[in-house]
Amino acid sequence: MTRHTGAHAGIRRAVTAAVAAAVAGASFIGLAPAANAQDATRPWYLDVMQAEKMWAVSKGEGVTVAVIDSGVGDTPALRGQVLAGLDSTDLSGDERSDLTGHGTTMAELIAGTGEGGGLQGLAPSAKILPIRIQIGNKEGETWVDPRVGAKAIRAAADSKARIINMSVAGSTFDGYTEEAIKYAASKGKLVFAGTGNDGSTDRKFPVSYPEVVGVGAVDKSGVYAKFSNYGKSVDLAAPGTEVPTYCDESLTRYCTSEGTSQATALASASAALIWSEHPEWTANQVLKVMIDTAGREDGKQTLSKYIGWGVVRPRVNLLEGKGDPGAPDVNPLLPAGSQDKDPSAKPSAEDKGADAKPEATEAAGAEAAKDDEGNGQLWTVLGIAAAVVVVGGGAFVLIRRRSTN
């Protein structure tokens, strides 16, 4: 269960009440709308990641990403990008109906075209498979029945989607979701989920299942976002602050937001870019290259508890040809430390310690994004991982982080 104090607790209750009034189901993860502060068609991280140069090589063609979320609306930036999916709810509409704006934002971050003033996605030629799960309210928390969530994961596993994006998370282990995740992995899917938005080492699910790639968030300066959960579940990090996000279900206005939801979507999009260029690779090989090419200023090959293996940098593979895909049947998350993501293991006293704070001396990643004129933009990551979604009490939970305008 996510804990909030003071104003955050009040906001949390207000959001929960609003969602519950609109729906009879469950909720989703971590966005923090603030203000309509930037051009949605050109988020800041596109320049840092050298998107234009990457798109000359790959735009994600031929790759489908399943987005298990609140549904995906019909917006100008997504027209022609969304396939027929699945609605596992009893709400009005179908999987193309989004009562929160969350799922639509995730889809646009991945595959938006920027049309009509909408979001420019990182992999604009990828396709989206929308799988809507129901939002509800139980004892003051939004939730999804784990059996429903597991059904959604299995549907994605049985689809043609290669990547499964889960910007959802929670605090309780459950067997239904665990088995569904294992099934998806057995079907060759690459599954991404966020670490959580508590700014703590509290472990979340599905991110803590060994087969799931845990994504943390970094800010515009490349520094770990302090709201992000860190610890044993973090495998990679991606931009997760100052990201345009739909303000509400009307899908008419963007706000500036933060959360590991966004970071997860950008990690999924990064995988789509690489997989499109190397369609013969397996999920294991795509992930191995993402790990090999992640930004780590210290150059270490060990996990940082804040950003995992580092910040995603698909351009290092696409533009420089770097990254060893390794064996097709070896999951790079499991051989060297699968015990660290054992979902049944309890966090150690050190991991749970409230006094454990990130140290400024632990420089964990860097990205030097240089343009043709040789002007460099240093993207330095100072070691702390990310926050996205929350799955708790045997339920997928949506946590919306909000800041003041």
If you write DSSP's letter for every residue of 163-230 in order, what string do you get? Answer: EEEE--BEE---HHHHHHHHHHHHTT-EEEEE--SSSS----TTTTSTTSEEEEEE-TTSPBPTTS--
Give pLDDT, residue 146. 82
Return all residues near 288 (Cβ < 8 A) that are at least 6 apart: 323, 324, 325, 326, 330, 332
- Mean pLDDT throughout 312-318? 98
Give pLDDT, residue 297. 66
The catalytic position among 58, 257, 261, 276 is: 261
Query: Which tens digit of pLDDT belongs to each residue from 129-178?
Result: 999 997 554 444 445 678 888 999 999 999 999 999 999 877 778 899 99
Of the pLDDT bands very low, low, confident and very high (cuts 50, 70, 90), residue 223 is: confident
| 376 burial via Cβ count (<10 Å: 0-12, 13-18, 19+) | exposed
Q: Check pLDDT > 70 for residue 387.
A: no
Q: Check pLDDT > 50 for residue 231.
A: yes
Of the pLDDT bands very low, low, confident and very high (cuts 50, 70, 90), residue 302 is: confident
Query: Which tens digit of pLDDT belongs to each residue from 10-49?
Result: 333 333 333 333 322 222 333 333 334 356 778 999 999 9
The catalytic position among 58, 88, 98, 102 is: 102
Q: Please, what is the average pLDDT of the chain?
A: 77
- Mean pLDDT throughout 81-102? 93
Q: Check pLDDT > 90 for residue 210.
A: yes
The catalytic position among 27, 58, 69, 233 is: 69
Of the pLDDT bands very low, low, confident and very high (cuts 50, 70, 90), residue 343 is: low
Maximum pairwise Cα distance, the chain? 58
Active site residue 261: yes
Rg (the chain; Cα; Å)? 19
Return all residues near 344 (Cβ < 8 A) that are at least 6 apart: 173
Give pLDDT, residue 203. 85
CA angle 325, 300, 280 (to 5 degrees): 10
Active site residue 102: yes
| 112 burial via Cβ count (<10 Å: 0-12, 13-18, 19+) | buried
Q: What are phi and psi of 87, to 5 degrees?
A: -110, 110
Supply the CATH number for residue 222's domain.
3.40.50.200
- Mean pLDDT throughout 219-244? 94
Please report whether residue 386 resides in a domain.
Answer: yes
Please report whether residue 346 resides in a domain.
Answer: no
The C-alpha torsion from 316 through 321 and 327 to 331, rounded to 10°, is 10
How far is the C-alpha of 167 from the C-alpha of 72, rounded, in Å?
Answer: 13
Of the pLDDT bands very low, low, confident and very high (cuts 50, 70, 90), residue 385 is: very low
Return all residues near 400 (Cβ < 8 A) that are at least 6 apart: 11, 12, 15, 30, 31, 32, 33, 102, 259
Q: Which of 165-179, 235-249, 336-350 has the least mean pLDDT?
A: 336-350
Report which of 237, 224, 226 is spatially closest to residue 194, judged by C-alpha positions. 237
How far is the C-alpha of 208 from the C-alpha of 181, rounded, in Å?
Answer: 11
Angle between helices 175-186 and 146-157 (to 10 degrees): 0
Q: What are phi and psi of 172, to 5 degrees?
A: -125, 135
Number of domains in the chain: 1
Please report whether residue 371 resides in a domain.
Answer: no
Structural domain boundaries, residue 268:
6-332+380-397
Give pLDDT, residue 32. 37
Which stretch, 195-204, 271-280, 353-362, has highest mean pLDDT? 271-280
Helix and strand totals (H; E) in the chain? 10, 16
Q: Check pLDDT > 80 for residue 403.
A: no
| DSSP SS3 for 330 | coil
Please report whether residue 245 resides in a domain.
Answer: yes
Give pLDDT, residue 131. 97
Give pLDDT, residue 400. 39
Please report whether residue 353 resides in a domain.
Answer: no
Of the pLDDT bands very low, low, confident and very high (cuts 50, 70, 90), residue 342 is: low
**More confidently predicted of 119 and 8:** 119
Report which of 79, 80, 68, 64 is spatially closest to residue 128, judged by C-alpha positions. 64
Give pLDDT, residue 299. 67
- Mean pLDDT throughout 373-390? 28
The amino acid sitting at 4 is H
Q: Percentage of the chain surpassing pLDDT 90? A: 60
Q: Check pLDDT > 70 for residue 216.
A: yes
The amino acid sitting at 390 is V
Whether the CB-CB separation of 144 and 392 falls below 8 Å is answered with no
Please report whether residue 370 resides in a domain.
Answer: no
In the chain, the N- to C-terminal Cα span, in Å, equals: 27
Please report whether residue 337 resides in a domain.
Answer: no
- Mean pLDDT throughout 314-332? 97
CA angle 103, 43, 19 (to 5 degrees): 25
